[in-house]
Structure 1
Amino acid sequence: MNGAGHDEETLALAHRLLDAARQGDSALLESYLAAGVPAALTSAAGDSLLMLAAYHGHADTVRLILKHGGDANAANDRGQTPLAGAVFKGYTDVVKVLTGAGADPDAGNPSAREAARMFARDDIQALLA
């Protein structure tokens, strides 16, 4: 196989895994993460598997990615963290998983704490106290 074909296959797999994170496909992600795919895999915009799973409200998938070494505080290229994404979307269950894993509510721009205030997510503000 030539190098270009291998690169295309690698890119296609990366897109498939990023889509799996968006969709909460924990079974697919588990098989690849267990086989050694890095939990720190990111999209072209710097969105990690963890960021995508958190932003789309998949608490079990977030838990899985964290188990495989996902960084709860890794910001994307815009300075947004998975916790801030979950706060913005109002996913309390994801917020609980991330804070339980040590996610910093003051990291990123805006931070999760700032996002909770901006969007009047009083229930989540209490979780970040």
Structure 2
Amino acid sequence: MSKNTQGSINNISFTQEEEAKLMELCQYALDCARHNDVESLQTLLDAGLNVNLSNESGNTLLMLAAYNGHFEATELLLKCGALVDKKNDKNHTPLAGVCFKGYDDIAELLLQYGANPNGDGGMGLSPMNCACFFGRKQILKLLLQYSHTKPTFLQKLALFFFNIKNTKRVREM
């Protein structure tokens, strides 16, 4: 926003003071997601907060909740319609972040809500590749169950290395 005495968002005018309070409220919502304050997050969403609110880096409420390992906040946001594959400014999805961090339960939750296990995360780091690269054996098994494409050579190598062979998806390769 400009430094004028008034700003506007969606043709609604705000004074600088109102704009500052709105920005403070948005930051509070992002902090609620980051710290698993589910009760406050629910109150904000019930009051009309955009479930896909993002920070200056493009990290949505869902990305912050998932990346910080907060199952409850992640589930709440998904139930409220958060975009499961929304990418941040680095082209990362919540699922790729969870694969990096190793949160099996949140990976499964995101997949149940339709997260793409093969989506391009930039630099060849799909969630599947991320799980391979960081040695996330359990997450790799989950990703294979939800994947609709054949594994790449790198992914097959990881499956061999991790001795993953007892899933239906692996037997079909």
Alignment of 1:98-109 (within 5 A): 98-107=110-119, 108-109=121-122
Q: Percent identity?
A: 38
CA apart distance, 1:101:
0.3
CA apart distance, 1:106:
1.4
- Is 1:117 aligned to 2:132, yes or no? yes
Q: Deviations over 1:27-56 (max 9, x none)?
A: 110001111111110000000000000000
Query: Whole-Å Cα distance in 2 between the matches of residues 42 and 111 of structure 1?
Result: 21
Structure with the bigger RCO (C-alpha within 8 Å, sep 6+) is: 1
Structure 2 stretches lacking a partner, 5+ long: 1-13, 145-173
**Which of residues 48, 61, 86 in structure 2 aligns to 1:49?**
61
Query: Whole-Å Cα distance in 1 between the matches of residues 68 and 46 of structure 2?
Result: 22
Give the aligned length: 129
Q: TM-score, normalised by structure 2?
A: 0.72
2:166 corresponding residue in structure 1 = none
2:101 corresponding residue in structure 1 = 89
Asked if the contact 1:34/1:68 (under 8 Å) is kept, the reply is no
What value does the CA root-mean-square deviation take over the aligned residues? 1.3
CA apart distance, 1:26:
0.7
Structure 1 stretches lacking a partner, 5+ long: none
Q: Deviations over 1:69-108 (max 9, x none)?
A: 1000000000000001111100111101100000001122
Structure with higher helix content: 1
Larger radius of gyration: 2
Structure with higher strand content: 2
- What one-letter code is carried by the residue in structure 2 that aligns with 1:120? G
Structure 1's consecutive aligned runs of 4 or more residues displaced over 6 angstroms after TM superposition are none
1:14 corresponding residue in structure 2 = 26
